[in-house]
Chains A and B, each alone.
Chain A
Amino acid sequence: MRRVAVVAVAQTKFQRRRPDLMPAQMVYGVCKEVVAKAGIDRSEIDFTAAGSADYLEGRPFSFGQALRYEGAWPPINETHLEMDGGWAAYYAWIRLVTGKYDTALVTSWNKSSEASIHHVMNIALDPFYESAIGAGPIPLAALQARAYMNRTGVTSEHLAKVAVKNRRNALKNPYAQVKKDSTVQEALSSPMLSDPLHVADCPPISDGAVAIILAAEGKAERLCSRPAWVTGVHHASDSGIIGFRDLAEVPAVRAAAQGAYKMAGISDPLRDLDVAEVCETFSHQELMLYEGLGFCGPGEGGKLLDSGMTEAGGELAVNPSGGCLAADPIMCRSLVRLGEAALQVMGQAEERQVPGAKRALAHGTYGECLQGNIVWILEAD
């Protein structure tokens, strides 16, 4: 299979509200920046993929507004996905793997500060039974957290510890939104939103945009001194019906990981990987992801966390960027993880750099309770 790499990454500083720019306008700066970073002209980009959601922007066909900021003149080879930008990156990767194209620009943007996330995500549920009962992301995640905790014995302290770890990591990430050095006790004493989830266990509402450039072998080396090669990637969906699922388990995470590991030749991820950026949209999900991604055995997510191995200085740093708990621009979240993992491999993660990181994992997700999952393995030569 043809080798493809991430060669440049740009992101806005994520913030609770970005009122000075309209949603699509946030794309202009990151696209300009990422093209400049790759040192190419817009006309050298063979394919463009974008990811966003109409219902979060409050208007139909909203992504059409972004075209001018993506540089769609003269006409470009472009496709928009009504999905998280992480899947736009996947489609761009598919296009490059064909050998027909050499470079791709991938972008996504998100301004959920202007919408009610609960109302929007409620109508993504099965319309007859699950949407009609009024549920949204926080109570559904809480059902998952309880189911997982009941299965494994993971405690509220474990959840708090994830939140503390990631937001402390975020102190070193200039793009993160919620960053603080706090204690488990502080997290546990934050208000209970939907038990067992405290405010500290939930992601912030974030506005911002991200863009990356992918390039195929032959081109990538010229655009980047240390490209982050995609050596494995796969994605998989769980059922979208919450009641159909065993919420204590993450089979679609396992399916995505197995596909990516097989492609990359990874047998022992904890040993083989140097760093992982995962979409823990709620704190318990990071522990579920440890299991689903094979960082530990079944039921051992809490134990792995306690071991300190996933801390910033640990054997396998997880979310040195701060993850989704530090900034959660919904339609960008998976693309940001891919970008952050690439920056680690490229050696460009600045203060949050994991020293000597050569092989990274990026995990992305869409839907409720980790329904859709994508896993990327990125490696330096």
Chain B
Amino acid sequence: MRNAAVVGIGQTHHVSKRLDLNMAGMVREAAQRALADAQLTFNDIDAVVIGSAPDLFEGVALPEQWLAGALGAYGKPILRIHTMGSVGGCTAISAFYHVASGVFDKVLTVAFEKQSEAQTTWVFSAGSGGRSFSSGAGGAFAPVARFYIDRWKVPLEMGPRVAVKDRGNAMRNPYAHWKKGAVTLEDVMNSPMLWDPFRYLESCPTSDGAAAMVFAAEDIAPKIHRKPVWVKSAVAMTESLTMSMGMKALPPAAVACAKRAYADAGITNPRKELQMAEIYTPFSWIEFILYEGLGFCDEGQGWRLLEEGVTEFGGSFPVDPSGGVISTNPIGASGMLRMLEAALQVRGDAEGGHQVPDVRQALGHAYGGTINYHAVMIFSDTKP
């Protein structure tokens, strides 16, 4: 397998309603920014991979058909990924393998969601007929968090502290949706409860936004960008839906995914060998479950990493310096934003003050479904 690198990165400024652009315009804005970053045009691209979560969000079925021309795919291959919330991550991974296979040299990948066109929580209940117990994304993940809290007897302010960290971090990310400033623990605790144990400030917003990346083959990547970001691992793992509602609150697919990703990158101690991570935390408590699933610490110890300040912006292993999914959630794009932010950190180009010093290797992670879909990429400043 040949190496491939990220040579272009672009994203929209994420907001709750992007009323000036339609879907096509919004994906083009991210794509054009990634192309500009790579100093390429649509004509230079060999293939396009797009991703978004359920088509019901925008009411456009199989949108790659309509969007093919908008993304410069006329006469070219275009592929559409959909793996629930992890889709942005799996889409970037797909684009990477398109290049790594040797079949294509330059691949554009775009992930998006325009949630303002419908209503997110309605989508989760759609098509059910009678009474729907569907309770949206928060309702799907809240029981897992509830179980985690009870299982490990975690102090109740630890979940809210994730929100304090991430919303504070978002202030340094000019693209983040959350613009209302840092929040205190008290602010979070006093915000309305939405899906016990997730309060309003502990829950992701619904955002309009898109993310885009350009991957290029190893021989041409250094000619395209002054600082190509190399991919050391690109792994997506899935398990049956019912599995991860497990009593261990440790998603097996996350564990399996991280294990393979570390093996591919030759990493044995992630918190030493990686300088930061962007992980998919749409709701506060999920963060700790992922710390454990991704092997940042032992089972039941995730919350202690935050308690000790390890994963704070100034800590020894910052997690989600961009503000994460809690601060910005255009669902289909959110997974790719994790990958893209990790790549930006390696490149040293994280804007607005959210750059972590001296990042040589970074991890991006996305999950979806009932925490049963996971995607991990590891980026490095050095060609493997």
Give A residues with C-beta under 8 Å from B: 1, 48, 53-55, 58-61, 63-65, 67-68, 72-83, 87, 90-91, 94-95, 97-100, 120-121, 123-128, 234-241, 244, 251-252, 255, 366-368, 371-372
Contacts and interface: CB of A to CB of B under 8 A. Distances in A.
B252 A63 contact: no
A97 B127 contact: no
B343 interface: no
A74 B256 contact: yes
Contact of A59 (B22, B90, B128): B128
A238 B123 CA distance: 30
8 contacts: A54-B55, A67-B238, A77-B236, A79-B93, A82-B62, A95-B101, A98-B100, A239-B69
B66 A241 contact: yes
B73 A237 contact: yes
A356 B63 CA distance: 41
Interface residues of B, number: 60
A76 B237 contact: yes
Nearest to B83: A80
B97 interface: yes
Contacts of B77: 234-237
Given A53-B61, A54-B56, A81 B239 contact: no
A194 B74 CA distance: 28
Given A64-B241, A67-B239, A78-B237, A98 B79 contact: no
Contacts of B100: 98, 100
A83 B79 contact: yes
A130 B240 CA distance: 38
Given A78-B237, A237-B76, A241-B69, A60 B83 contact: no
B59 A127 contact: yes
Interface of B: 1, 22, 54-56, 59-69, 73-84, 90, 93-94, 97-98, 100-103, 123-124, 126-128, 235-243, 252-253, 255-257, 260, 369-370, 372
Given A236-B77, A255-B75, A82 B235 contact: no
A94 B101 contact: yes
A342 B218 CA distance: 34
A13 to B, nearest CB: 26
Contacts of A98: 1, 97, 100-102
A125 B66 contact: yes
Given A64-B369, A82-B80, A255-B75, A124 B65 contact: yes
The 3 A-B pairs at the shortest CB distance, nearest first, are namely A82-B82, A60-B54, A59-B127
Given A60-B54, A68-B240, A73-B240, A126 B66 contact: yes
Contacts of A239: 68-69, 74
Contacts of A64: 84, 241, 369-370, 372
B94 A79 contact: yes
Contacts of B103: 1, 94, 97
B163 to A, nearest CB: 26
A235 B237 CA distance: 26
Contacts of B236: 77-79
A81 B235 CA distance: 16
A80 B102 CA distance: 22
Given A60-B54, A83-B80, A371-B65, A237 B75 contact: yes
A128 to B, nearest CB: 8
A236 B47 CA distance: 9
A68 B242 contact: yes
Contacts of A126: 66
A241 B70 CA distance: 10
Contacts of A372: 64-65, 68, 78
Given A61-B369, A67-B372, A82-B55, A73 B94 contact: no
A196 B260 CA distance: 56
A239 B74 CA distance: 6
Nearest to A374: B77
A128 B60 CA distance: 11
B82 to A, nearest CB: 4
A53 B97 CA distance: 23
Contact of B252 (A74, A94, A121): A74
Contacts of B127: 58-60
B21 to A, nearest CB: 13
Contacts of A79: 81, 83, 90, 93-94, 236, 238
Contacts of B61: 53, 55, 120-121, 123-124
B305 to A, nearest CB: 24
A76 B1 contact: no
A221 to B, nearest CB: 21
A236 B317 CA distance: 43
Given A59-B127, A252-B75, A124 B241 contact: no
Given A61-B369, A83-B62, A99-B1, A54 B54 contact: yes
